[in-house]
Structure 1
Amino acid sequence: MPYSLHKRKDGEEQPFWKCGPFKLRLPFIHYKLETVEAVQALVLFVVGLAMIPWLEKHLGLPFEAALAYTFVCSLAWLIPTFLGVPFVPGWITAAIPLIIMNLSQYGPGPDAIKALVAIQIMVAAIFLALGVTKLSSKIVTRIPVSIKAGILIGAGMAALMGEIAVGGRLAQDPISIGIAALICFYMLFSLSFKRLRQKYSIAAGIAKFGMVPAMLVAIAIGVGVGEFPVPNIEFGITRPDFALMWQYLPWTIGFPGIEFYINGFATAVAAYIIAFGDVIVGTSLVENANKESRRDEIVDTCADRIHLATGIRNMIHAFFAPYIGLAGPIYTAVTATVSDRYRNGRKAMDSIYGGMGTFWLVGLFAMFMLPLVTFFKPFLPISLALTMLVTGYLCLVDGFKTAKQPVQAGVACTMGVVLATHGAAYGLGVGILFHILLERKFLAQSHPEVAILAADKKIADFQEMEPLKKAS
């Protein structure tokens, strides 16, 4: 791939233009494009198209308008790297089941679009407010562990239940999606495949393409067994219908009233908490790769800049393409594979911004390639199913890792079940109630004799330690 105009000296930060809280970087000027990420993007851009069935089903959009929505999303995906965020951005994927549960109250049509606009405006406002005030980490760290874990577990359950339930995508296409899921899980999470990657270069070469191998295998099997039709490939340039899209925006159908904000508030809060977990995951992935393997580059993972960039994207969506996936800080699977390849040194990847910035830039161009779009169009359910299954698994793992004590796990699991079956408002309500009843320590305040016993124990402990302190 072509080299960039500006070069980085070893041990310095990748060149940028300073603009307030942002560090502006442009391809070919501040970083070069990376071949491996470009190849991944030519297949995984279909994940962006995978939102189309949801937009059609839950918002009532025609295909042409939904396709135009995805172009707005693809443009917005370029913003974070442009502003200096070293992640591949994505959706708030784990929040999608919660969003769908909220929208299902209205049915497809203008009210569902208004409900989504309200949620997306609130999510944008949270990100922007916390990014400007720099309060994000302080506020989120005060949320009880059990509630954070409960949101993750509930989102994970909802994601998996939506795929494996009767009538779900796995039930409709069990052979292709089932095999693809097994391949994807084995390559991403298996300890034995991790050893194969370390031992054999071919396994390492396959692994760096993330979910692409599983997608391609699923497509071949799906066509072979008749679960999916042979694609009708057309040639030319994709032409999204932006004029039709305008008929499904708040500027035309009207902006949401206060009742939509009230009804969607709990969902917006839950979505932000999930997204903040994504910020932590992305920061950990990039910083570990940078500090452990790449002393030649300083990487700035400023949480406030991540919040501002994510807030801007959500606001753009709210006004010009309300999106069921919302705008999240990270596409975890791709960010992980880019970070892993980044560890291999400057010859493998000159800068982390090159790897992260290449993916959606090439993905945007792939959206205009009609042969690619028409080839992958029949297989959108595969990419959607893989995305949700992997997301559900990761949410469950992170949720149980977050809950460190049995009582926290109990509260989190109970909250998670309610959230997955009845929505974010009921889930958060049950989580807060159980946290207060089961985790808060009221006993010493309500029973003076207990407080006296506790005080006596502290005095006894002090008396036991005092001779030791004097002796030392």
Structure 2
Amino acid sequence: MPSQRPHGAVHPGIRWGRFTLRIPGIHVDLTPSTQLQGGLLLLATGGATAPLLMQYFGVSFEIAWTVMLVMFFWVFAQTFLFGDVYSAGGIAAGLPLTIIFLNDFSPGPEAIRAMIAVTLVVSFLFLFFGITRLGERFNRLVPATLKAGIIMGAAVAAFQSELDRLESMPLTLVTAWVVVLALMFSTPFARLPNSRLKMLVGANALLVAFMAAGVVGLISGELRFDIQWGLFVPPLRETLDTLAPWSVGLPSWGVIVSALPIGVMIYVLAFGDLLVADTLLKGADKARGDEKLDIDHTRSHYVLAIRNLAQLVTAGPLVMLHGPIWTGVQVFLIERYKQGRHVMDSLFTGTTNFYLLAIPLGLLIPVLGLIMPMLPVALSVTLVLTGFACAYVAMAMVQGNIERGLVLTIGMLTAVMGPAWGIGAGILLYFLMLGRGGEQAAEPVAEEDVTESLESESTYPSEEARA
């Protein structure tokens, strides 16, 4: 049943300081279909970084999966515990940059301390810009060409990492790439009539890609599934003994200083995610006057700092840091939300239910038997989608051949030489080739225009089409 919310009011909950607790089943309706779809999708895509934890931190699958389960809790906490309106996720565009950074450290304690340094730097930036409220001003100070170069660096690094992985399971990975890119970015597919089948397939593009890759991998022998009964018992104590800062030690000041460039890059990407989310929510506000969507960037900064620091002390660092938005899920839920209160009472109904079942499902051994062989595929799809989206967003942010050339140059330097080289050489090249105010003539594409391309990925019909 819809909640008793006055028309045009913020969705009710329990206020505590700047945050709001909304308890599933009390403040937010329960929708089992959303729970099942969201839980499986979060396990497959969110758990995709488990192989990276095993590779760089030198830990077992059991420890890596425990870290993922704790991550799912703090992702869920953004909605139900802190009351932020965004569909929480990771800073996906920062993942390729993090991989570049970790490649300079030996797997094991050295890489763990390096990732702790990145987490501390990014968390400090969230806190600093949240307290001072200077985030928007800092974001405006960074020229669009430099921001686009950072994003292009993530794109190049993402594709670079997947070329190395392709040799191990070519048929499976190519199948997953083709299916997910065709469903999410294909112009012919988008032009098809908005039938129920198209809605179903497009809204579950990642799951469809995983299923297709699973079938091809099983037939080709590139994948093997081992389904067993039982429950997974997370080794929390062993995880903390292996990954917690007090177990491996804090990073040296030298490592923290080396993490500053990538920390700044990741913060710029995260703030860009906030702006994208705000633009998406403007469309939801126009369609639904019955609920006020409470957007508070200061609160969001605090939440992101808390989530990353809490992850660090409850299970150790992540390779992909906690971020404000899972763009694909945000678009999917907003488009359903736009259809009216009879479809989704509140936007919190969608975000809360989407994340609710991830941890319970992740404790079932049969589910793990299906997911474990697919984790490399999920990671590959995540990075390819990140690379593809980052590439076209980066190019859409600038106009003119000089700016586009700079974007690619900064991106290549970042991916090949590292974040410090990307920022340093990027700033130098920017002033040498464009000078101060050089972008004014270029008239870069507005944030809203970039976000429209993200909204167009949704397979739900537009307001005009529904009319």
The normalised TM-score by structure 1 is: 0.88
Paired letter, 1:132? I
Cα distance per residue 1:358-405 (max 9 Å; x no partner): 122211221122211122111111111111111111111111111234
1:414 aligned partner = 409
Could you say which residue in structure 2 is the equivalent of 1:134? Answer: 133
Q: 1:43 aligns with which of 40, 55, 60?
A: 40
Structure 1 residue 178 corresponds to structure 2 residue 174: yes
> How far apart, in 2, do the equivalents of 1:123 and 1:172 lie?
34
Counterparts of 1:346 and 1:214, CA distance in 2: 31
- RMSD of equivalent CA atoms: 1.8
Residue of structure 1 in register with 2:63 after alignment: 65
Aligned to 2:270: 275
Contact 2:76 2:352 (C-alpha < 8 Å) held by counterparts? yes
* CA deviation profile, 1:198-220 (whole Å, cap 9, x unmatched): 43122112222241111112112
Distance 1:439 1:188 in 2: 35
Deviation at 1:98, TM superposition (A): 1.4
Match of 1:27 among 20, 24, 27: 24
SS of corresponding position for 1:247:
helix
Structure 1 residues 197-253: Cα deviation after superposition (integer angstroms, max 9, x where no partner): x43122112222241111112112211221101x11122221111121122221112
Cα deviations across residues 76-117 of structure 1 (Å, max 9, x unaligned)? Answer: 111211212122211111111211221121211111111110
8 Å CA contact retained: 2:39, 2:356: no
| Aligned residue pairs, count | 434
1:117-156 → structure 2 map (5 Å cutoff): 117-156=116-155
Question: Quick one: distance in 1 between partners of 2:317 and 2:304?
Answer: 14
Matching of residue 55 in structure 1 with residue 53 in structure 2: yes
Counterpart in the other structure of 2:302: 308
1:239 is matched with 233
Identity of aligned residues (%): 30
One-letter amino acid of the counterpart of residue 294, structure 2: D
> Is this contact kept in 1: 2:151–2:391, CA < 8 A?
yes
SS at match of 2:318: coil
Q: Supply the distance in 2 between the matched residues of 1:405 and 1:299 (Cα, whole angstroms).
A: 37
Secondary structure of the residue that 1:284 maps to in structure 2? helix
Judge conservation of contact 1:120–1:317 (CA < 8 Å) in 2: no
1:23-55, Cα deviation, whole Å (9 max, x unpaired): 322211221133443232242112222211101
Question: Paired residue for 1:77, among 70, 75, 78?
Answer: 75
Amino acid at match of 1:93: A
1:462 aligns to what? none
Select the structure of larger CA radius of gyration: 1
- Separation (CA, whole Å) in 1 of partners of 2:414 and 2:121: 20
How far has the Cα of 1:22 moved from its partner?
1.8
Going from structure 1 to structure 2, the CA distance change for 1:305 and 1:442 (only over 3 Å counts) comes to: closer
Distance 1:209 1:349 in 2: 18
| Distance of aligned partners of 1:70 and 1:218 in 2 relative to their CA distance in 1, 3 Å threshold | same
**Equivalent residue for 2:313, pick from 291, 295, 319:** 319
Unaligned runs of 5+ in 2: 439-467
Which amino acid is 1:162 matched to? S
Q: Structure 2 length as normaliser, TM-score? A: 0.89
Distance 1:141 1:365 in 2: 42
Structure 1: segments with no counterpart, 5+ residues:
444-472
Structure 2 equivalent of residue 12 of structure 1:
9
Q: Distance in 2 between matches of 1:72 and 1:251?
A: 18
1:113 and 2:108 aligned: no
